[in-house]
Amino acid sequence: MVTSIRLRNTLSLFSARDCVVCHRVRLVLAAKGVTYELIPVDPGNPPEDLVDLNPYHSVPTLVERDLVLYSASVISEYLDERYPHPPLMPVDPLSRARIRLATQRMEQDWVPQVQSMQSGTKSQAEASRKRMRELLMQSLPLFKASRFFLNPEMSLADCALAPIIWRLPSLGVELNKDLKIIDDYGMRIFRNPGFMRSLTPEEKVLRELN
């Protein structure tokens, strides 16, 4: 139940300042051109409002009047349906299922590596760097297959993936010659003004665009 929270906008997002999962939702909002109130949160010390609204106290959490959503996939799909333009999912069921599955694999396999590189011990971070390089190498054919990930147009899969690619060099995973195709893919998204709008100041400084 919404308690003490007094939100200025109809749409508000509780978000960490540098979080690959929160960034995913900010990128969906930016791609849609939706204005919203950003409520910065330290995930280790969630504010009382967030504790009241979300039983997991996790970010991202989206609030729209009486609606409270958490889990980046649930929020992203809701936003894509609520703000249909531009669409971030293909129309045919097979392509939609492929994009959902790829996004779920990113949540389960890729995001934990990023989080371990950001806040794990030195040996955990090194193991995650190695695992991340393996994941990138294994997925090279998918990056070669189409302009965006598994799709000719930008989709919710790219909103999950681009925040990961953005952080890699700052986490010690260089996109060198072997991975140039992934660097090129990232650049196609990073050069979009919507991507720049999706970044917090803390995330903006993680990379310099040439």
Ligand X SMILES: N[C@@H](CCC(=O)N[C@@H](CS)C(=O)NCC(=O)O)C(=O)O
Considering the candidates 19, 75, 168, 179, report the single residue annotated as catalytic. Answer: 19
Q: Where are the beta strands (DSSP E) in the chain?
A: 11-16, 37-41, 61-64, 67-70
Q: Minimum Å distance from CB 178 to ligand X?
A: 29
Convert residues 45-84 into a mask of x (bound to ligand X by CB under 6 A) and - (unbound).
Answer: -----------xxxxx---------xxx------------
Check binding of 89 to ligand X (CB under 6 A). Answer: no
Check binding of 157 to ligand X (CB under 6 A). Answer: no
**Distance between alpha carbon 135 and the CA centroid of its chain, in Å?**
17
Instruction: Please return the burial class of 187, using the count of CB atoms within 10 Å of its CB with bins 0-12, 13-18 and 19+.
Output: middle
Touching ligand X, residues 30-49 (CB under 6 A): 43
Q: Which stretch binds ligand X (CB under 6 A): 14-22, 30-38, 155-163, 191-199?
A: 14-22
Number of residues that bind ligand X (CB under 6 A): 12
d(C-alpha 89, C-alpha 171), whole Å: 30
Q: Which of 11, 12, 13, 21 binds ligand X (CB under 6 A)?
A: 21
Q: Is 159 a catalytic residue?
A: no
Check binding of 155 to ligand X (CB under 6 A). Answer: no
DSSP string for residues in 26-85:
HHHHHHHT---EEEEE-TTS--HHHHHH-TT--S-EEEETTEEEESHHHHHHHHHHHS-S
Q: Which residues bind ligand X (CB under 6 A)?
A: 16, 19, 21, 43, 56-60, 70-72
